Amino acid sequence: QQPVQSPQAVILREGEDAVINCSSSKALYSVHWYRQKHGEAPVFLMILLKGGEQKGHDKISASFNEKKQQSSLYLTASQLSYSGTYFCGTERANFGNEKLTFGTGTRLTIIP
Amino acid sequence: EPEVTQTPSHQVTQMGQEVILRCVPISNHLYFYWYRQILGQKVEFLVSFYNNEISEKSEIFDDQFSVERPDGSNFTLKIRSTKLEDSAMYFCASKRDRGEEKLFFGSGTQLSVL
């Protein structure tokens, strides 16, 4: 079953912050975040493993609440380059061939 | 950074024709995947492949689909008799090992079935 993302779409002015949420009804081993520009392949942002960790680089960070099976992606002081569709991908187990199941996507538009 | 390479970038075919989409995963990667994305929709899992056999396949991956790794470098997706609803962007992906490993995606093949 696919994870559910919210919001579906958001429009921000440059410099504003955004939070994108990803929820699963199943227990998760990990959450991956990807950004996809129109017509391009998804680009990896970060992985979070169960254990409630938080990660970040530059002005993009994420958290993973294992108990709630939820992850949130935080974009602070957004830049024009952040525009795109953000997908979370979830893994239910730590098997090598475990597939990533992608969420419904959140379209982020940054305007000057 | 190493890349997953997909060819062709665009493929146009008539309904009922066979198509083969080609991928060259990163050389030391062990796990291979095909995903597809219908325009404007989410990325959907098709099949995973490890140790020269299919690990898992989705409901989409019916008898019309097959995968092969014929020579240790190429990884192909074949659609035997294409349907209009097979029109989508097809992404190949690979990863090196289990655990905390990111998926590397190719740039995709846009398949249009007329």
Domain chopping of chain B, boundaries: 5-96
Residue pairs between chains A and B whose CB atoms are closer than 8 Å = 62
For residue A100, give the nearest of B30, B88, B45 by alpha carbon: B45
Q: Which residue has the higher pLDDT, B36 or A30?
A: B36
For residues A38 and A27, give the distance between their C-alpha atoms in angstroms, rounded to a whole number. Answer: 31
Give me the mean pLDDT over the A2-29 stretch.
Answer: 93
Cβ atoms of residues A63 and A19 within 8 Å: no
Cβ atoms of residues B52 and B75 within 8 Å: no
Q: Evaluate if residue A13 carries a pLDDT over 90.
A: yes
| Residue A95 confidence (pLDDT) | 66
Tell me the chain A residues in contact with residue B97 when contact means C-beta distances shorter than 8 Å. Answer: 96
Give me the mean pLDDT over the A30-59 stretch.
Answer: 84
CB contact under 8 A, B56 and A99: yes
Q: Evaluate if residue B80 carries a pLDDT over 80.
A: yes
**A46: closest CA of chain B, how far (Å):** 8
Q: Which domains does chain A have, with CATH numbers?
A: 4-111 (2.60.40.10)
* pLDDT interval class at B40 (50, 70, 90): confident
Cβ atoms of residues B102 and A44 within 8 Å: yes
User: What is the rounded average pLDDT for all residues in chain B?
Assistant: 93
Q: Evaluate if residue A47 carries a pLDDT over 80.
A: yes
Q: Find, in chain A, the residue whose alpha carbon is nearest to that of B49.
A: A97
| Residue B10 confidence (pLDDT) | 96
In angstroms, the Cα distances linking A94 to A28, A98, A104, B100 are 10, 7, 23, 9
Give me the mean pLDDT over the B44-56 stretch.
Answer: 93
Q: Evaluate if residue A94 carries a pLDDT over 70.
A: no
Q: Evaluate if residue A54 carries a pLDDT over 80.
A: no
The CATH class for the domain spanning B5-96 reads mainly beta
* pLDDT interval class at A38 (50, 70, 90): confident
* pLDDT interval class at B68 (50, 70, 90): very high
| Residue A49 confidence (pLDDT) | 82
Q: Evaluate if residue A96 carries a pLDDT over 70.
A: no
Residue of A97, A102, A104, A106 to mutate, interface with B, max B Cβ within 10 Å: A97
Q: List residues in chain B touching A: CB distance below 8 A.
A: 30-31, 33, 35, 41-45, 48-50, 55-56, 91, 97-108
Strands A54-57, A43-49: pairing is unpaired
**B32: closest CA of chain A, how far (Å):** 8
Residue of B1, B69, B95, B103 to mutate, interface with A, max A Cβ within 10 Å: B103
